A and B are shown apart, each in its own frame.
Chain A
Amino acid sequence: MERRATFDNLWIAAALIAPQLLLVFVFFYWPASQAVYWAFTTQPPFGGSNEWVGLQNFQQIFADAVYWNSVVVSLVFAFLSTSLSIAMGLLLAVMVDRQLPGYSVYRFTYFWPYAIAAPAVGLAFRFIFAPDAGFVSAVNHWFPNLWNPALDGVDAMALIVIANAWKMAAYNFIFFLAALQAIPRTLNEAAAMDGAGVLRRVRDLQLPLILPTLFFLLVINITESFVDSFGIVDIVTGGGPARATELMVFKIYSDGFKGLDYSMAAAQSLVLMVMVVGLTFVQFRYVERRVHYN
Chain B
Amino acid sequence: MIERTPVLNALTHVTMALGLVLLILPIWIVFVASTHDYVTVNRVPLPLWPGSDLIANYSKVWATGNFGQTMLNSLVVAIGVTAGKIILASLSAFSIVFFRYRLRMVFFWLIFITLMLPLEVRIVPTYAVASNALSPFQQMFDWLGIAVALPEWNLLNSYTGLILPLVATATGTFLYRQFFLTIPDELAEAARMDGAGPIRFFIDVLLPLSRNNMAALATIMFVYAWNQYLWPLLITTRADMQTAATQLQKIVPGPLFGQPPVWNEAMAATLLVMAPPLLVVIFMQRWFVRGLIAADK
Residues of A within 8 A of B (CB): 1, 3-10, 12-14, 16-17, 19-21, 23-32, 34-35, 38, 88, 91-92, 95-96, 98-100, 102-103, 105-106, 108-120, 123-128, 130, 132-135, 137-138, 141, 150, 166, 169-171, 174-175, 178, 188-189, 192-193, 197-199, 216, 220, 223, 226-228, 230-231, 234-241, 249, 252-253, 256-257, 262, 265-266, 269, 272-273, 276-277, 280
Contact = CB atoms under 8 A, between A and B. Distances in A.
Interface of B: 1-3, 5, 8-9, 12-13, 15-16, 19-20, 22-24, 26-27, 29-30, 33, 41-46, 88-89, 91-92, 94-101, 104, 107, 110-111, 114-118, 120-129, 133, 136, 164-165, 167-169, 173, 181, 185-186, 188-189, 192, 197-199, 201, 223, 226-230, 233-234, 245-246, 248-249, 252, 254-256, 260-261, 263, 266-267, 269-270, 273-274, 277-278, 280-282, 285, 288-289, 292-293, 296
Given A24-B111, A117-B229, A272 B270 contact: no
Contact of A118 (B165, B227, B255): B227
A117 B226 contact: yes
A277 B136 CA distance: 24
Contacts of B15: 91-92, 95
Contacts of A273: 117, 121-122
Q: Which 7 A-B pairs have the closest CB atoms?
A: A31-B125, A13-B99, A117-B227, A34-B125, A16-B95, A5-B188, A27-B168
A38 B122 CA distance: 12
Given A117-B228, A237-B256, 20 more contacts: A5-B185, A8-B99, A35-B125, A92-B15, A92-B16, A95-B15, A98-B1, A103-B16, A108-B285, A111-B285, A113-B26, A114-B281, A115-B277, A120-B274, A127-B263, A236-B255, A252-B124, A256-B127, A262-B124, A265-B124
B93 to A, nearest CB: 9
Contacts of B22: 88, 166
15 contacts: A8-B99, A20-B111, A99-B1, A100-B13, A117-B226, A124-B29, A127-B267, A128-B29, A150-B255, A169-B23, A189-B1, A198-B8, A249-B121, A256-B124, A269-B123
A235 B185 contact: no
A25 B16 contact: no
Contact of B91 (A8, A17, A27, A253): A17
A192 B88 CA distance: 49
